[in-house]
């Protein structure tokens, strides 16, 4: 939903500059990220590790531009009289030297701080609302990516056309900031990635899950592993329990923990209890919601149903990240495994930057963050970053044109020797199972 107040609100602020981004991403964070991961540049380079961190974040904001264009337009390379531009091979080497660790450190540090900034304004009865769910992304079809990430299996023993990675995120429902994330090879189940996130769920929070995450180990560890950490999750059709007390539509139930789960996690009890609330949607469909919020006076059944109905916002968050921000591209850019991890951590930081700007603008305008258009805010930040890089000095335009001409002269010589990219036609998976008639077999 578009809000007419967004444009005058943004225009009333001073022009976008790199120091404005620095208000959200202080230089000290980037320096600490580089130092903590051991990626600091010892010798002076045109693209030191600190600049590469900004470059990876910018790559997510300018998905339809090449990496060289992003470096040039945002003026990310340090100036030197010896060269007017940075070659593609030098940029690739700078990314390899930096690695993914600084971006991962920066994401976790920034997400923790950004989520806590305005959290008090979006609490639900004293609790922060989160949603946890999984998604997949396709990577470039290189031998390294296919070996590490794997691919989905299609019908007729066909392997997926592109390697895929699987990710699970913890997203704030109110502002849609990604609080935490875990991702890796496609073959690793979402439950395993979710178990990594459970210890990092903040205290005094309510986490809404999809029914695929219904697991005694996951939910019991969530409640017992912190202070006032609760869950809401729909029951499966085959979930069985024993009613302890309550009336129809709002009961306290007891469920048995499977022997297999207790073998994997001996700390689990033999039984665990939850509150079962009947929810009816607008189409008249019924579902049972299981929750650890057992205080009926403080949390009425309607409150629990309302919290669960906001879970869909994490799906919108995935759409904004994968379709809107990454430009409907089929795959990620990177050809290497380390590059894929680096690129995705940078994309998460960039997405949170946009969402943080939206949250700040929404507070000033008196609207909810979901009322402001993500695409409009995304485009405004794109334009402002480009304009800020170009207009730092009006006398800079002749120099930019000169550098452009020099770059055009050198472009034919930038192809790396011995590098081949074989063309291949990707197979499309069958949408329906092929049925063979008897006459076809005769």
- What global pTM score does this model have? 0.84
Question: How many other C-beta atoms can be found within 10 angstroms of the C-beta atom of residue 434?
Answer: 7
Per DSSP, helices labelled H in 289-426 are 301-309, 313-319, 337-365, 374-390, 397-410
Which residues, at least 6 apart from 141, have a Cβ–Cβ distance to it below 8 Å? Answer: 161, 162, 163, 331, 424, 426
Q: Strands 229-234 and 205-209, how do they pair?
A: parallel
Instruction: Kindly tell me the number of DSSP H helices and DSSP E strands found in the chain.
Output: 17, 9
Residue given tokens 């199972």 in the structure block = 433
**Tell me, what's the pLDDT at 154?**
66
CA distances from residue 97 to 30, 78, 243, 342 in whole angstroms, order as listed: 16, 17, 59, 11
347/290 Cα distance (integer angstroms): 34
205/231 Cα distance (integer angstroms): 8
Low-confidence ranges of the chain (pLDDT < 70): 1-23, 39-44, 79-84, 154-157, 388-442
CA distances from residue 3 to 12, 251, 368, 372, 373 in whole angstroms, order as listed: 16, 42, 10, 6, 7
Question: How many other C-beta atoms can be found within 10 angstroms of the C-beta atom of residue 266?
Answer: 7
Strand order of the β-sheet with 178-185 is 178-185, 164-172, 128-138, 205-209, 229-234, 286-291, 271-280, 250-256, 242-247
**Tell me, what's the pLDDT at 49?**
85
Residue pLDDT, tens place only, 76-102:
877 666 666 778 888 889 999 999 999
> Between vectors from CA 432 to CA 427 and to CA 435, what angle results, nearest 5°?
110
**Tell me, what's the pLDDT at 345?**
96
In 3D space, the residue among 161, 192, 193 whose CA is nearest the CA of residue 180 turns out to be 193
**Tell me, what's the pLDDT at 112?**
94
């Amino acid at each position: 939903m578009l809000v007419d107040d967004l444009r005058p609100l943004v225009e009333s602020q001073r022009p976008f500059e790199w120091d404005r981004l620095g208000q959200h991403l202080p230089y000290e964070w980037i320096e600490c990220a580089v130092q903590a991961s051991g990626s600091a540049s010892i010798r002076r380079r045109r693209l030191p590790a600190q600049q590469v961190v900004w470059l990876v974040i910018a790559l997510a904001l300018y998905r339809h531009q090449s990496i060289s264009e992003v470096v040039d337009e945002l003026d990310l390379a340090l100036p030197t009289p010896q060269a007017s531009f940075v070659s593609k091979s030098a940029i690739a080497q700078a990314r390899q030297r930096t690695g993914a660790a600084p971006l991962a450190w920066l994401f976790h540090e920034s997400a923790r701080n950004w989520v806590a900034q305005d959290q008090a304004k979006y609490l639900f009865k004293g609790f922060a609302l989160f949603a946890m769910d999984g998604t997949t992304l396709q990577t470039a079809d290189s031998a390294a990516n296919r070996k590490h990430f794997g691919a989905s299996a299609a019908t007729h023993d066909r392997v997926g056309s592109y390697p895929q990675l699987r990710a699970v995120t913890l997203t704030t429902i109110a502002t849609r900031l990604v609080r935490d994330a875990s991702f890796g090879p496609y073959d690793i189940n979402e439950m395993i990635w979710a178990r990594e996130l459970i210890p990092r769920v903040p205290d005094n929070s309510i986490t809404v899950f999809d029914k695929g995450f219904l697991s005694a180990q996951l939910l019991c560890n969530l409640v017992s592993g912190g202070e006032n950490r609760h869950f809401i999750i729909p029951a499966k059709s085959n979930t069985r329990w024993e009613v302890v007390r309550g009336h129809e539509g709002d009961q306290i139930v007891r469920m048995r923990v499977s022997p297999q789960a207790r073998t994997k996690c001996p700390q689990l009890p033999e039984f665990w209890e939850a509150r079962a609330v009947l929810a009816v949607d607008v189409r008249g469909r019924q579902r049972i919601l299981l929750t650890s919020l057992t205080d009926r006076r403080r949390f009425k059944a309607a409150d629990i149903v309302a919290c669960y109905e906001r879970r869909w916002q994490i799906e919108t968050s995935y759409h904004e990240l994968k379709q809107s921000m990454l430009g409907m591209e089929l795959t990620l850019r990177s050809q290497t495994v380390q590059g894929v991890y680096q690129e995705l951590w940078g994309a998460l930081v960039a997405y949170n930057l946009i969402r943080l700007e939206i949250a700040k603008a929404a507070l000033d305008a008196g609207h909810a963050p979901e009322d402001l258009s993500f695409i409009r805010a995304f485009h405004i930040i794109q334009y402002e970053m480009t304009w800020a890089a170009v207009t730092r000095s009006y006398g800079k335009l002749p120099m930019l044109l000169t550098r452009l001409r020099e770059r055009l002269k050198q472009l034919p010589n930038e192809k790396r020797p011995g590098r081949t990219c074989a063309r291949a036609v990707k197979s499309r998976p069958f949408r329906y199972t092929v049925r063979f008639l008897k006459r076809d077999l005769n």
